[in-house]
A and B are shown apart, each in its own frame.
Chain A
Amino acid sequence: MDVTLTREQTEIVRQVRRFLDNESPMKYVRAMFDDQRGFSDRLWAGIAEMGWTAMRLPEEFSGLNMPFVDLCLVLEEMGRALLPGPFFSTVLLAADALVQAGTPAQKAKYLPGIAEGKIRGTLALYEPDSGADPGYVRMAAEFNGNEFVLSGTKLFVPDVQCANFIVVAARTAPACDSTKAISLFCVDLPDERVSIAPLRTMDGTRKLFAVEFRDVRVGEESVLGQLHEGWSSLRPVLQRAQVGICADSVGAAQKSMEMAADYAKIRIQFDQPIGAYQAVKHRCAQMFEAVESARSLMYWAAWAQDEADPQEAALAASSAKSYCCEVGTSVSTSAIQVLGATGFSWEHDIHLFLKRAKANEMVLGDPVYHREQVALILAG
């Protein structure tokens, strides 16, 4: 048992923070918040050069084969900086699905390009009737004897505007049990039968889209993993992505707390800094408790994805996803309160943190969904 960062891990954190301080300052985040594409090629190339798109890829596909915990440390810093762009969609969703379930040919086709920063991908999962349940997939992929024909609407697809391919979850069998009915497909973009429409979202750091599939035809070579068993392939991928989002929320909450505490030290009212009043001081202390609790839980969940048995990994992912993301929202909300009217202004950065935190809370299963997953494992 040793729940501390190694010297190498501390160095990773230092490197990421320095890079993002220089390359993705709040000025850049704000520009991308309003930008339709949402990131610059220069920054994406820099991220790839730092090796962060390759961290989890196997060595034979230009990857670095690093532990998942290390990626989460990078993601925590990205959350702290509110890094905009397709890192989440490409690295945590599309690339990880390929690593988990791809054939050697599929991996060879996409992964080296992802490592080099030349290829980006995303995942199309949610549908209009899914609600908070990422496992609710009804879109059909019918086999016509030759090809699969995909038709239907996917919602909340992240950063598809810049994706070279999209992993799509669709039904290939009528079974009620979703673990025996869903298959995954890789669809290259652009495709004239795939149309995308931007959604106008609260958080502008990750763009979301509605994606319409109109009789999109793909061959058997595009099936990712076993036919009908896409959910089994996807589950560990989603779990890791959920934990990655936790790391992002912890980083964003940490920064929110720091902004509030720094302000409480210098803002004078009634002749003393507001941080001297217990009403404010204790609010800040509670932010600290929440952030540190969330970080400990996230470390456990990150470690569990690589090292623990599948049940513990699932419990840890759902525990962390519900708690850490709620902390992200509550801490940024609390920070706005400490900052007062300033915190309510567009000019102050804190609202960007609340918006990212809220998006994190809802993506890949909301807290209620994840607590039910925990209850299912504990009590059946």
Chain B
Amino acid sequence: MDFRLTPAQEEFGKGFTAWLEKNLPENWDTSRHNTFDSWEKEAEAHRRFNKRLFDAGYAGMHYPKEYGGQGKTLMEEVIVLETLASTCFELKIAGIITFGMAVPTIFVCGTEEQKREFISKALDGSHIWCQGFSEPNAGSDVVNVSTRAVKENGHYIVNGQKIWTSFAHIADYCILLVRTDPKAPKHKGLSYLLMDMKLPGIDVRPITQITGASEFNEVFMEDVRVPAEMLVGREGDGWRIAITTLMFERAVGDAVMGGLFVRNIRNMIHMARHMKRSGRPIIQDPVFRQQLAQAYIDVKILKSHGYRALSQLLKGGLPGPEGSISKLLWSESNQRICERALNMQGPSSQLMRGSPWAIQDGMWQHLFLRSKGNTIEAGTSEIQRNIIGERVLGLPKDISRVSRQKEI
């Protein structure tokens, strides 16, 4: 058992950190959460920064060179992502779907043409992807997707509506789950398409979320003609591929989010040294100290657990039971950390960005609100616990779900 990186990996990490210091956007503050004035600026910063990473040989470390990757292992990729998360997480947010879902799915399930067409363009920042899974009647029950795709003269004609589609307003492409066979059992009638967001018939309407920002959207599709070669896998394979996609999203989450939390804890300590309660620095408050320690322990759980899951993957294994709790771990610990940081501020916790007396320019207020989405997006905590209960612990499904499955 060894939690240490090899000397070569250490060296690689140091090299990357040194490169990063010189290549962050101007006036970038690595100690805190940076914000952008508009989505256009955020998308632009994301593309530009990914191009720099790509040109310097730090994009897609574990993908083969013929697709624009670096031909190294997942470990190098994790080192890069962890370092990015602890210095400039914000620059990568717009690429979460791109790198967490689209690229790995295309790499594993896509055709040779799709791999050549899309992977390197995602890695170099040319393409941003969005995820078209959820619909008004297909949330946690995503197999209920009703957006229709009918094959006609070498195209799929797509009609329907997606919702909670993150980054659709800035995306170039969409991984789209559609129903191609309404007569087949629900989970066998789905297919997985790669849809160009510039095609005619696509209407994107932003939804404002509790932070006041609009990361996600409604996407309406009316007779959108997606070329048939944009099908991933076979017709009817959509559900299996979607599950693969979700597994990837969860696989490297822990280690990467661990990087982000390291920065958050540094920030908490900084705040606690400068803020006072009854005139005394909060850092001396025994209750705060307990919470700080627990936040640190949360980070260490993420990191040690992430390394354990990663070790399995590196040895060629599938994500084991330890992989199935990753999503729960990072989402719930992020909420706890944000909650603690906010509570430290007392009445100042009410002050939003731009307010006089706002602490760290209201960054924690934003993070606190944004964290509430963590236990909903990418599979709610409740769905995760069903998966663990049923697939890992072998507990039975409830009667209503059993009988419904018999019907279909």
Contacts and interface: CB of A to CB of B under 8 A. Distances in A.
A joins B in a complex = yes
Interface of A: 1-6, 9, 67, 69, 261, 264-265, 271-273, 275-278, 280-282, 284-286, 288-289, 292-293, 296-297, 299-300, 302-304, 307-308, 315-316, 319, 322-323, 368, 370-372, 374-375, 378-380
A314 B290 CA distance: 16
Contact of B394 (A1, A261, A292, A303): A261
A281 B307 contact: no
Contacts of B283: 379-380
B397 A276 contact: yes
A23 to B, nearest CB: 27
B389 A285 contact: yes
Contacts of A282: 382, 385-386, 389
Contacts of B392: 285, 288
Given A2-B1, A289-B388, A379-B289, 20 more contacts: A1-B6, A1-B310, A2-B311, A2-B315, A3-B1, A3-B3, A3-B310, A273-B395, A276-B397, A278-B382, A282-B389, A288-B393, A296-B305, A296-B308, A299-B304, A307-B4, A319-B293, A372-B289, A375-B292, A379-B292
B297 A323 contact: yes
Contacts, number: 168
B293 A1 contact: no
B293 A372 contact: yes
Nearest to B307: A3
B210 interface: no
22 contacts: A1-B311, A3-B3, A3-B308, A4-B308, A264-B395, A271-B399, A272-B396, A278-B385, A278-B386, A282-B382, A285-B384, A285-B389, A285-B392, A288-B388, A296-B304, A303-B3, A316-B300, A319-B297, A370-B293, A375-B293, A378-B269, A379-B273
Contacts of A299: 1, 304, 308
Interface residues of B, number: 53
A1 B75 contact: yes
A183 B100 CA distance: 56
B255 to A, nearest CB: 10
Nearest to A372: B289
Contacts of B312: 4
Contacts of A370: 293
Contact of B2 (A272, A307, A378): A307
A288 B311 CA distance: 20
A261 B308 contact: no
A261 B273 CA distance: 46
Given A297-B300, A371-B294, A379-B269, A3 B311 contact: yes
Contacts of B265: 378
B1 A275 contact: no
A256 to B, nearest CB: 13
B6 A284 contact: no
Nearest to A316: B300
A304 B300 CA distance: 13
Query: Which applies to chain B's interface (DSSP): helix, strand, loop or mixed?
Result: helix
Contact of B293 (A3, A275, A302, A374): A374
B281 to A, nearest CB: 10
Given A293-B329, A304-B3, A307-B2, A375 B307 contact: no
A288 B389 CA distance: 9
B297 to A, nearest CB: 5
Interface in B58-101: 75
A282 B396 CA distance: 12
Contacts of A315: 296, 300
B119 interface: no
B385 A285 contact: yes
B97 to A, nearest CB: 25
A3 B320 CA distance: 13
B301 interface: yes
A3 B389 contact: no
A283 to B, nearest CB: 9
Given A278-B386, A297-B304, A292 B393 contact: no
A303 B308 CA distance: 13
Interface in B271-320: 272-273, 283, 286, 289-290, 292-294, 296-297, 300-301, 303-305, 307-308, 310-312, 314-315
B321 A292 contact: yes
Given A272-B398, A275-B389, A285-B393, A1 B307 contact: yes
Contacts of A2: 1-2, 311, 314-315
A190 B172 CA distance: 81
Contacts of A374: 292-293, 296-297
A273 B396 contact: yes
Most buried by A among B2, B305, B397: B305
A289 B329 contact: yes
A276 B399 contact: yes
A3 to B, nearest CB: 4
Contacts of B390: 281
A4 B315 CA distance: 9
Contacts of B40: none
